[in-house]
Structure 1
């Protein structure tokens, strides 16, 4: 009879969080096995903005230099009126950001980030085409049923399988995704094609009552611009899954009459899908038995603060520290300690992310005028974002006192 392969720690999902956790565990002498459902490593989505609360950890893990080669350090954070293009607020990033937070703010293609992470983890620790269908608890292990009919076992299982997590459904007992009432179009455009775009290598929000456009430069030379165009959509999402086909007119309609830089970007990108922006309610616990959640599986974020990947990366440090000190016979205290370190912070970032879209999409009138006036006088990294970007996961263990978000 064929013996069931057994690992002390199995990580489900070879995305950003899962691979970073494997590195953080290795630093503490724990070799985890990463199971990935696809036959090759590929990231869903175009790019990711890595803020200092994540890049600080990559320096500790020894991959900062490799990531720097394929990433673009942002120059400014700019808010613009989506229709006129007028600058509403500008905060320098670049060297000022690096001096304040101790690390860079990068735009990087997800495929490049995943390649650097997987190379560091090593192919021998990643099992491709390992699609987990179900889990079964026993006293001292978890059995994992795979799509090919085989089975593996593990002493501890970490669900790093993203916002549409099977492991979360197993922990919670049902699918608790909630449609946010907004959807988005994603794309990548070569920077040289964006002839109408001012400040092409800055992070920019173009805002208006019908939606907003976020974009930033990425790649080692800032050669591409990644964008996400977000609009209000009906409260019911009827499409199967979180993505549906989209016609060109659907992406242009919320931005009709907007600045040429916006419409040029939307027209240049090959966009044929609309993504539902889903959120999940905070959980009272992130574990069940010997299974624990990490990243989007534990606390999925809407993308308006660009913190989904960064919060996953923060999680890895806390979980790795607690697992290194855990009793293999009873990991529950380690899981509870990990959750205690991460719960308040991730809830604060979730709430802040939910609120941003409400602020960016204010209708014309006094509230929008007050928001614009505040943007003109605000240093966002000093007054609004320092509690997020200034967090060092290797030192801190919670949210910063006095955390503030954009005000209405």
Structure 2
């Protein structure tokens, strides 16, 4: 939203949101010598959720941000990505993540707890003299003029800066002011998650892998976290009622009914997910125009995606590095933000659409399941052709 102000603009860049994307942005800009102020709505900083997969493209970004060495202390490095049919228990395909994979992409594949990654980014950002991080400062509105942006927070506090970066998530208020395009799309799926000690996993066949069991309207993912000490479990289900707009979510009993056709070992794994909390999955269509004058969007505020390529947080961190580079190499702020969007729009849009495709691919039933299984079992050994473009990352 445009406006006017007689107050001289600060050179400080304001970031709405203190999640992974917002803190990565502060870190990237701070390392480039820019003053940054993060305005976070919550009273305390932290990440809600469980595990994250970090492809080599994301590992490369963490190298760029100077914190990859810290990753080794808390991450787990799986041996393979494995897909198994949850109905008959047959392995369909795998991608080996060993030496050949790392030689191809230059960096490893790792998995990490969301809160551990967030804390790594936060510690590094706080160590920079130009970075300020404030809590209980949810951005409510903003106006801008030719020289800066004026932000009003929910508690009435006001800030003026050179630019505003909306990293305030799926239901971004900054997005509502820039695009005003309504609520995110409900994907018709619900996720249940849980973390248990590794000792509770009786079948250790895939304990060192990222494994996905796929079936009609369902999938279940497992991988180890925190140096291998715990197992992350994610069960996702969908049904026709959810896809057509049913307001209520799929409850635990309905989740178990959808999984009832799976082999017993997969059904037993539902005991590893919490039943008292769920996530309704949402995304958006690729949409241009996230930059307006001195304001722009980043991460889920710009391009929320389903989790089927495991790239949501990865894209937010890529955004942060590209944004920092544009802002520090292009003197005109408006032009820098447009250049940032132009560089990110098609890549992130492809992630959004590809994730939707892989959702249908993983959740296939009936004849579509037969076709899916035939395709993936014939994949060339060691091939990564479907996701090569993702893992090769961006130009730095």
Q: Please report the TM-score for the alignment, with normalisation by the length of structure 2.
A: 0.91
Is the contact made by 1:57 and 1:393 (CA closer than 8 Å) also made in structure 2?
no
Q: SS in structure 2 opposite 1:183?
A: strand
Which residue number in structure 2 is paired with residue 33 of structure 1?
37
Instruction: Please list, as runs of the form range in 1=range in 2, the aligned pairs for 1:108-257 lying within 5 A after superposition.
Output: 108-122=112-126, 125-196=132-203, 198-234=205-241, 235-237=243-245, 239=247, 247-257=251-261
**Superposition CA RMSD, Å:** 2.2
Instruction: Give the stretch that moved more between structures: 376-385 or 187-196.
Output: 376-385
Q: Which whole-Å deviations, capped at 9, do the CAs of 1:15-74 have from their partners, x for residues lacking one? A: 111111122212321121111111111212212111111111111221001112100012
> Which segments of 5 or more consecutive residues in structure 2 lack a partner in the other structure?
1-6
Q: Is the 8 A contact 2:220 2:233 kept in 1?
A: no
Counterpart for residue 287 of structure 2: 283
Contact 2:171 2:183 in 1 (8 A): no
Residues in 1 aligned to 2:214 and 2:124: alpha-carbon distance in whole angstroms: 39
| Number of positions where the alignment pairs a residue of Structure 1 with one of Structure 2 | 385
Give CA deviations for 1:267-301 in whole Å, capped at 9, x if unaligned. 12223233221111211211122110111111110
Indicate whether 1:106 and 2:110 are aligned: yes
- Name which of structure 1's ranges 340-349 and 110-119 shifts more when overlaid on structure 2: 340-349
Contact 1:76 1:90 in 2 (8 A): yes
Query: Which residue of structure 1 lines up, in the alignment, with residue 4 of structure 2?
Result: none
Distance in 1 of aligned mates of 2:49 and 2:167: 16
2:64 aligns with 60
- Partners of 2:103 and 2:204 in 1: CA distance: 28
CA deviation after TM superposition for structure 1 residue 260, in Å: 2.9
| TM-score computed with the length of structure 1 as normaliser | 0.88
Q: Does residue 70 of the first structure (1) align with residue 74 of the second (2)?
A: yes
2:377 aligned with 1:376? yes
Q: Secondary structure at the match of 2:366?
A: coil
CA contact (8 A) 1:182 1:233 kept: no
Segments of 5+ residues of structure 1 without an aligned counterpart are: 395-408
Contact 1:304 1:357 in 2 (8 A): yes
TM-superposed CA distance for 1:182, in Å, is 2.2
